[in-house]
Chains A and B, each alone.
Chain A
Amino acid sequence: MALELFLEGDPIADTKAPRDVPIGERWSERKFRGKLVNPANRRKLTIIVVGTGLAGGAAAATLAEAGYHVKSFWFQDSPRRAHSIAAQGGINAAKNYRNDGDSVHRLFYDTVKGGDFRSREDNVHRLAEISTQIIDQCVAQGVPFAREYGGLLDNRSFGGAQVSRTFYARGQTGQQLLIGAYQAFERQVAAGSIETHSRTEMLDLVVVDGKARGIVVRDLVTGEVTTHLADAVVLGTGGYSNVYYLSTNAKGSNTTAIWRAHKRGALFANPCYTQIHPTCIPVSGDYQSKLTLMSESLRNDGRVWVPKERGDSRPAHEIPEDERDYYLERKYPAFGNLVPRDIASRQAKNVCDEGYGVGPGGLGVYLDFTDAIQRLGRKAVEAKYGNLFDMYARITGEDPYESGMRIYPAVHYTMGGLWVDYDLQSTIPGLFVIGEANFSDHGANRLGASALMQGLSDGYFVLPNTITDYLSAGPFEKVPADHPAIVEAEAGVHAQVEKFLSINGTRTVASFHRELGKLVWDYCGMERTAESLRKALDRIPEIRKEFWTDVKVAGTATDFNQNLEHAARVADFIDLAELMCIDALHREESCGGHFRAESQTPEGEALRDDENFAYVAAWGWTPEGEPPILHKEALEYEYVHLAQRSYK
């Protein structure tokens, strides 16, 4: 192992989960042991919540309902536009409405296994327990989940699950869940309990006496930089897939909030765990600005295939049945088209690498609905997936009923994020991290329909119950406006803005982002090798240097300047990319979304090394040029026994 890349620090551990009671009792036990805040005192406590996605929106609404004073920040114009809105497929819950053998324990088990034994059992079990409450909550808010003729909720099986536990709202589950949270949020805005700051970006964290006490933000409309103080800070700022430039994330999704908190001392866990989604619309040209996901639910009725002949350029419907290779069904008879995402993605990449790919550049495989249309009728297929088919047709100009879809994997979700304990508190006291922004529940891979569950679980049910233990010691001493920590943080933000505007180089921010993205995709994407990661680690510092000397940022510091916003985000992506590669390089095993080509079974499956790597890698920041510090949190499996994942 290359020592100059990083240093190893002290191990860390979660001390909050009450391990002395059985796993099923730990969550209620934790709630019981945690200290509470008297209702009369809650008004006096201010909580900053950054982000209005499922996690942030639900948390802000719930904390405000409980009586705290909440200040909410987000960068879009409306809280309803957080990227959670884009989730299509569904949300898991162990309701067992289908009587098909589901239970909290099974969801727990599937999620731990799905995460390839790199998640924390306590957190996952709590998630499974809370899953059922989420559905109740959302239905009460008016979320229009799909229903059956009898008026009861419909379920489907999703992304590798053998039970039907996924609740959905056509292909727009994220939208409907987010609108539910948004409505609850707006109700609290009307009640005066949430103070809102739209189009406002968090650019630094204010840490006073070791505690998170506020944030420095830039008003994206006026360019004004201000500091907001509070008793606790909550980050629900989403994932960082956009480090790859092309991903299924919204254009504005970024790592800035968590990265800057990381620079203030919060450990960053498992940055290299990224999830590749198997069913995206393939890239069509260089100008492409983002990738569009086709819901994974399509795999329930669609069959994945490539031509048996390399480079077969006939249109899909002209290729006869016996000249098609349904490679997932062939290789994984039990799970077929429903194997987990990492497997489906890697297999697609493999067949394309071998030259069987279809469409422009040979980067695509077919997802075919002929069987489903024959079996269920076009009407039923339309009812189920109509909007997805329309979307596909609009983007590609092709008719998917006729020719099926072409799909290819794309970066979709980041399992890594700020390290948090069972209370969702980071290594900076008073800084809580929820939703995709933290690392906590999915391990090395995430099952389909689990992120929505985690976001809402964190936001509605976990954080509002655990944050009280910290807040019970408050209200904390007032921080004077001229406190050195504030002055320094604000000065840093100003300095960065001025720096960007003064470089006046020759390349656009977007060109750097594209270059970085391609580099990370090629060398730290679906498949990684020590060699590719080394290459990336050689190149990233050069990109960083070029960026800081040759970027050209238009406009001024004092108006609505989207180019300047983007520049700050790309600066952080460059730094993050480096840490991702270091993390990927140090983890000399394959697990879940992290596939090291050197570590695979004879059949080409991910091969874990439990002896050496059954830990969370939590990274401490060091100034540029110094190696980051690795803190290990050992993972123990009391309830789900370590086993090789098999989906054969």
Chain B
Amino acid sequence: MATVTTQQAGQSAGANPGPRRQPKTGRFSSSVFKKATMAVTGIIFVLYLIAHMVGNLKAFAGAETFNNYSEFLRELGEPILPRLTVLTIIRVVLLVAIATHIWAAVSLWRQAKRARPIGYVTKKRVQQSYASRTMRWGGIILFLFIVWHILDLTLGAVNPAGRDSLPYGRLVEGFQNPVVVIWYAVALIVLGFHIRHGVWSATQSLGHSNKRRERALNVFATAFAVVLIGGYLLIPFSVLFGIID
């Protein structure tokens, strides 16, 4: 017996319309996979940032130590490996990571836009934190900051000390300008928020959070972000107030 309806043979009224889009089961299209790559790349950034902060603090040891440290980075691995090898590897890893991180961020952002084509007239927050809400715009600020920061301190292109200066010189010259310090401070605070939510979020995205750990994780994430950002903020302000010169 066929499935006849008198009005439209075969096609029945009220039947579920079926999936609007065919689900893609490839791993790269899974939102969860995207989140996991963000977490992994985010962790790479965090590790880098820890090391970078420790390196930066050498500024307190004076110009020579700091410049030597910069040179050390470039010579790392010599004589077994040619000069700049390790640094280049680090740079490549970071570049790939940031590209992946941005790809995933943009892709999820677009998915989220599709998911709420019409907004609410009234919408209140019940529990979401400021940090979690600012991940996307914060990320963009961070990206701009990184570009500028490299032009500033690595290449010296936008630094008052100029292209041919040594790192320590660029650092001190740059941070003597309060505007630059404020810009750094803003970016670092944005970074603090990004990391605050990022650390908790990455644990969750990689499936290692649970009810018991949830609180501890959040406390840790906040503490970690504060210490890290505090560490970074020391340098610009020390320069500004003449502790480092």
Contacts and interface: CB of A to CB of B under 8 A. Distances in A.
Touch between chains A and B, by CB atoms below 8 Å: yes
A475 B2 CA distance: 10
Given A217-B14, A226-B5, 7 more contacts: A200-B13, A224-B13, A226-B14, A227-B5, A227-B6, A229-B3, A481-B9
B16 interface: yes
A475 B8 CA distance: 22
A362 to B, nearest CB: 41
A46 interface: yes
Which 9 pairs from chain A and chain B are nearest by CB? A219-B14, A481-B6, A200-B14, A226-B5, A197-B14, A219-B13, A226-B13, A46-B1, A227-B6
Contacts of B7: 224, 226
B53 to A, nearest CB: 48
A198 interface: yes
B174 to A, nearest CB: 60
B14 A45 contact: no
A46 to B, nearest CB: 5
B2 to A, nearest CB: 7
B4 interface: yes
B6 A490 contact: yes
Contacts of A482: 6
Nearest to A482: B6
A341 B97 CA distance: 67
A197 B1 contact: no
12 contacts: A195-B15, A196-B16, A200-B13, A224-B7, A226-B5, A228-B12, A229-B1, A229-B2, A476-B1, A478-B4, A481-B4, A481-B6
Given A195-B12, A219-B13, A474 B1 contact: yes
Given A195-B15, A198-B14, A198-B16, A45 B5 contact: no
Nearest to B16: A196
A581 interface: no
Interface in B1-52: 1-9, 12-16
A481 B3 CA distance: 11
Contacts of B6: 226-227, 481-482, 486, 490
A229 B14 contact: no
Nearest to B9: A481
A199 B4 contact: no
A536 B9 CA distance: 46
Given A224-B7, A481-B6, A481-B9, A230 B14 contact: no
A44 interface: yes
Contacts of B16: 196, 198
Contact of B14 (A69, A199, A231): A199
A230 B14 CA distance: 17
A229 B4 CA distance: 6
Contacts of A45: 1
Nearest to B5: A226
B12 A197 contact: yes
A44 B7 CA distance: 22
Contact of B15 (A44, A69, A197, A486): A197
Interface residues of B, number: 14
Interface in A172-217: 195-200, 217
Nearest to A189: B16
Nearest to A71: B3
Which range contains the number of A residues in contact with the other chain? Answer: 20 to 34
B19 to A, nearest CB: 11
Contacts of B5: 226-228
B1 A44 contact: yes
A489 B35 CA distance: 55
Interface string A13-43: 0000000000000000000000000000000
Contacts of B9: 481
B22 to A, nearest CB: 13
Contacts of A231: 1
A473 interface: no
Contacts of A221: 14
A531 B3 CA distance: 51
Contacts of A198: 14, 16
A622 interface: no
Residue among A220, A221, A229 with the most chain B CB within 10 A?
Answer: A229
Contacts of A220: 14
A617 to B, nearest CB: 35
A221 B13 CA distance: 10
Contacts of A313: none
Contacts of A69: 3
Residue among B1, B12, B13, B16 with the most chain A CB within 10 A?
Answer: B1
A224 B5 CA distance: 12
B1 A478 contact: yes
Interface in A294-352: none
Contacts of A228: 3-5, 12
Interface string A217-252: 101111010111111000000000000000000000
A229 to B, nearest CB: 5
Residue among B9, B14, B16 with the most chain A CB within 10 A?
Answer: B14
B1 A475 contact: yes
Contacts of B12: 71, 195, 197, 226, 228
B13 A46 contact: no
Nearest to A232: B1
B1 to A, nearest CB: 5
A230 B2 CA distance: 8
Interface in A449-481: 474-476, 478-479, 481
A484 B115 CA distance: 48
A495 B96 CA distance: 69
A476 B7 CA distance: 21
A44 to B, nearest CB: 7
Contacts of B1: 44-46, 229-231, 474-476, 478
Contacts of B3: 46, 69, 71, 195, 228-230
Contacts of A227: 5-6
Residue among B4, B8, B9 with the most chain A CB within 10 A?
Answer: B4
Contacts of B14: 197-200, 217, 219-222, 224, 226
A44 B13 CA distance: 21
A217 B5 CA distance: 10
A197 B5 CA distance: 13
A126 B84 CA distance: 83
A42 to B, nearest CB: 12
A200 B14 CA distance: 7
Contacts of B8: 226
Interface string A39-83: 000001110000000000000000000000101000000000000
Interface string B146-188: 0000000000000000000000000000000000000000000
A373 to B, nearest CB: 27
Contacts of A219: 13-14
A647 B6 CA distance: 56
Contacts of A217: 13-14
A475 B1 CA distance: 6
B23 to A, nearest CB: 11
A200 B6 CA distance: 16
